Amino acid sequence: MVVVGAGFAGLRTLHTFRERGLDVAVIEANAGLGGVWYVNRYPGARCDVESYDYSLSFDPDLEQEWRWSERYATQPEILRYVEHVADRFDLRRDVHLDTRMTRSTYDEQAHRWHVETDDGDWSARYLVMATGQLSVTKQPQLQGQEDFRGRILHTGAWPHEHVDMTGRRVGVIGTGSSGTQLVPVLAEQASHLTVFQRTPNYSIPANNAPITDEQDAEVKATYPERRERARRSPSGLGFKPNKQSAREVAEDDRRALYEQQWTTAGFGFLLAYYDLMLDERANDTAADFIRAKIAEKVDDPTTAERLMPRGYPFGAKRPPVDSGYFETFNRDDVDLVDMRETPLERITEHGIRTTAGEVELDTIVFATGFDAMTGALLKPEIVGRDGLTLREHWNAGPRTYLGVGVAGFPNLFVIAGPGSPSLLSNVLLSIEAHVDWIAGLLDHAAEQGADEVEASGQAEADWVAHVNERAEATLYPRAASYYMGAEVPGKPQVFMPYVGGVRGYRRVLEKVVADDYDGFRFT
């Protein structure tokens, strides 16, 4: 088996299949382990899922011995955890770093994948794409970029050496999760910070805090129950959905619940009422609450107004989970440029020019995100049956069966791919669920004496239709989000993750197993 990517998905795949006796090689383009956590080193980078949930669950001893220090772990701490896992399970010996897959071709006679890399070729029965959902950065091609005399950085490809921002005038373009995490920390370092905002975001406070020994002991005493709660929850985060509608309750009660969720729940705020992503008027109640919070936090009413998201539902773009983002705009040394009022014209030698004039800068940071969900799958060329490439097969948007298999691409599996809960879930939990499920699938193939496992075209078409139908019944498609492919000009506009929730999706997978892996062909 060749696995592409040595982030959490690739390492978990390596461990699971090596334990089952397969020869597994992981190829990884970066010089180190950790995938997104290896490259997203910008100041302030941390996870927006709680540490105890954003961690591997397959080994109870690992769960007990690792001690998280904060409710939301920082990037360096997560990377230390990845390294620990790699050492503890002796994973490094099968990982080939600095090796990029360039092309893979399925050999229909041999039933094997021929995998080409920039450091030699491999042949494998199974090819597993563990390439992540947010691993190819989106570099905006702004006019005049080459003229800029200062430094340009991207949050998703941050340098490994320390970047000293002391005394520097810094401009940040982009106010998604990365920008929102970066801005408060950069404001402390830079002499002046200018944030260039295109779309305001509904950001939720993280309420981050150190984890005490008592809290740690409490979680570890009941870890299996916590994991099970997560698996049975809609998002894989363990939040119990409220069965009430936001529109059914009295305004005071609703405000009280929002207030409580705002100060405790982080991402779980989105689940305050079951219909926030189903009913526009229910969603408006949460959006209004967040806008009122922004007005409370930001002293200058004009700046507050500019920071208030409008025109798309709360949650339809993934909400950032921040630590002091809005408050940062109360500083004298931080400015907000609203690019809807004063659009960016070009990068100049000395900074950024908008229709309101030039802002002089020493450093520009692109916090402009990723070619999400399909970027890393389409970057190399993957050639399936009859010479069909994955890019051709997906020219109108990604098509998968269950987010795992692709018709016409036998023995190819995607971990947490488009068509599965993926970015709408606690991704770590979804990764582990997929790896274990694929293990069962390959056991079944072995029992059948099959050399080839392939999703059928019909099963794929039915699943794609189901994924779209479920998404259409929600408010998710109503924003120009990366879930929709809207972040990259020219990308097909199709809602990519499965909105049916972790619990609902698990039931689908169980049913497919009960029906002898219905939808897959074993030959």
Binding footprint of ligand N01, residue count (CB under 6 A): 24
Q: How far is the CB of 431 from ligand N01 (least distance, A)?
A: 14
Cβ distance to ligand N01 smaller for residue 282 or 423: 423
Give me the 148-167 binding string for ligand N01, x by CB under 6 A, dash otherwise: -------x------------
The angle, 0 to 180 degrees and rounded to 10, between the axes of the packed helices 223-231 and 501-514 is 80
Interacting positions 76-135 with ligand N01 (CB under 6 A):
134
> How many other C-beta atoms are found inside a 10 Å radius of the C-beta of residue 15?
22
Site membership for ligand N01, residue 487 (CB under 6 A): yes
3-state secondary structure 180-220: HHHHHHHHHHCCEEEEEECCCCCCEECCCCECCHHHHHHHH
The residue from 57, 233, 354, 368 that contacts ligand N01 (CB under 6 A) is 368
Cβ distance to ligand N01 smaller for residue 140 or 492: 140
User: Measured in Å, how far apart are the chain's first and last C-alpha atoms?
Assistant: 18
3-state secondary structure 309-336: CCCCCCCCCCCCEECCCHHHHHCCCEEE
Site membership for ligand N01, residue 174 (CB under 6 A): yes
Cβ distance to ligand N01 smaller for residue 182 or 412: 182
Task: Point out which span in 63-71, 115-123, 174-182, 428-436 binds ligand N01 (CB under 6 A).
Answer: 174-182
Site membership for ligand N01, residue 491 (CB under 6 A): no
Interacting positions 310-339 with ligand N01 (CB under 6 A):
318
Give CA–CA dist 356/358, Å, rounded.
7
CB 241, CB 437: distance < 8 Å: no
| Burial class of 80 by CB neighbour count within 10 A (0 to 12, 13 to 18, 19+) | middle
The residue from 4, 56, 127, 173 that contacts ligand N01 (CB under 6 A) is 173
DSSP string of 245-310, one letter each residue:
-TTTS-HHHHHHHHHHHHHHTGGGGGGSSTTTTT-HHHHHHHHHHHHHHHHHH-SSHHHHHHHS--
Q: How far is the CB of 493 from ligand N01 (least distance, A)?
A: 13
Site membership for ligand N01, residue 179 (CB under 6 A): yes
Site membership for ligand N01, residue 268 (CB under 6 A): no
Cβ distance to ligand N01 smaller for residue 384 or 419: 419
Q: How far is the CB of 44 from ligand N01 (least distance, A)?
A: 9
Site membership for ligand N01, residue 177 (CB under 6 A): yes
CB 409, CB 382: distance < 8 Å: yes
Task: Point out which span in 95-103, 161-169, 356-364, 367-375 binds ligand N01 (CB under 6 A).
Answer: 367-375
Instruction: Using alpha carbons, list the distances in angstroms from residue 181 to 53, 93, 151, 168, 352.
Output: 20, 35, 20, 19, 22
Cβ distance to ligand N01 smaller for residue 134 or 509: 134
Cβ distance to ligand N01 smaller for residue 178 or 233: 178
Task: Point out which span in 46-54, 283-291, 293-301, 501-509 binds ligand N01 (CB under 6 A).
Answer: 46-54
Q: How far is the CB of 167 from ligand N01 (least distance, A)?
A: 26
Site membership for ligand N01, residue 55 (CB under 6 A): no
The residue from 34, 268, 369, 398 that contacts ligand N01 (CB under 6 A) is 369
Cβ distance to ligand N01 smaller for residue 16 or 145: 145
Nearest 5°: the CA angle 204, 209, 210 is 155
Backbone angles phi, psi at 257, to 5 degrees: -70, -45
Strands 192-197 and 101-107: unpaired
Q: How far is the CB of 40 from ligand N01 (least distance, A)?
A: 6
Interacting positions 292-311 with ligand N01 (CB under 6 A):
none
Give CA–CA dist 379/38, Å, rounded.
19
- Tokens 């019909």 locate to 458
Q: How far is the CB of 175 from ligand N01 (least distance, A)?
A: 4
Site membership for ligand N01, residue 47 (CB under 6 A): yes
Q: How far is the CB of 341 from ligand N01 (least distance, A)?
A: 14
Single-letter amino acid, residue 15: H
Q: How far is the CB of 490 from ligand N01 (least distance, A)?
A: 13
CA-closest candidate to residue 496, choices 438, 401, 419, 424: 419
Give CA–CA dist 419/460, Å, rounded.
10
Single-letter amino acid, residue 81: Y
Site membership for ligand N01, residue 482 (CB under 6 A): yes
Give CA–CA dist 110/112, Å, rounded.
5
Cβ distance to ligand N01 smaller for residue 8 or 463: 8
Binding site for ligand N01 (CB under 6 A): 46-48, 134, 140, 155, 173-179, 181, 198-199, 318, 367-370, 423, 482, 487
